[in-house]
Amino acid sequence: MDKDRIVGSAKDFAGKVEGAVGDVTGDANTQATGRAREAAGTVQNLYGQAKDVAREATDAAVNYAKDAYDSSGDKLRGGQQTVARTVQENPLGALLVAGGIGFALALLMTRPPRRPPPRWRYYG
């Protein structure tokens, strides 16, 4: 629980008491001061609640990220073992796939030859 929630609740309660005292005594100034303090306490309480919600959401996101990071190592090791087993069972197929990937990358990385710019001739 955030300290703003506690202080806001205390201000809210004090404002209600002060407003009630103003109602009983008939003093408009005390009534207005009490209502203003009550409103300020309510706002501060809501601000504390928002901070609590934001803190809980941040903690949940951090925990989710930690869990995802911890489980990613297991999935990576499992994938490496699967690839190693496939290569051991079919080395020729793995070699052909690797060669095809290398050829495709080479095609993507080479650029076409440059053409010379067109020459404009003036026949006049």
Scanning 1-124, the segments in alpha helix (DSSP H) are: 3-25, 28-89, 91-109
Output the CA torsion sign for 85, 86, 90, 96.
negative
**Tokens found for residue 11:** 């201000």
**Which amino acid belongs to residue 59?**
D
Per-residue pLDDT at 124: 60
In this prediction, residue 106 has a pLDDT band, given cuts at 50, 70 and 90, of very high
Q: Give per-residue burial for 50-86: e unless 16+ CB within 10 Å, then b.
A: eeeeeeeeeeeeeeeeeeeeeeeeeeeeeeeeeeeee
Output the CA torsion sign for 92, 96, 101, 107.
positive
Lowest mean per-residue pLDDT among 46-50, 94-98, 117-121:
117-121
Residue 113 has pLDDT above 80, yes or no: no
Residue 121 has pLDDT above 80, yes or no: no
Q: What would the pLDDT profile of 8-33 be if each residue is shown by its tens digit?
A: 888 888 888 888 888 888 888 888 88
Segment of 32-46, 62-76, 110-124 carrying the highest mean pLDDT: 32-46
In this prediction, residue 98 has a pLDDT band, given cuts at 50, 70 and 90, of very high
Q: What would the pLDDT profile of 43-91 be if each residue is shown by its tens digit?
A: 988 888 888 888 889 989 888 888 877 777 777 778 888 888 988 999 8
Please enumerate in sequence order all residues whose Cβ is within 8 A of that of 19, keeping only pairs 6 or more positions apart, or say none. 30, 31, 34, 35, 38
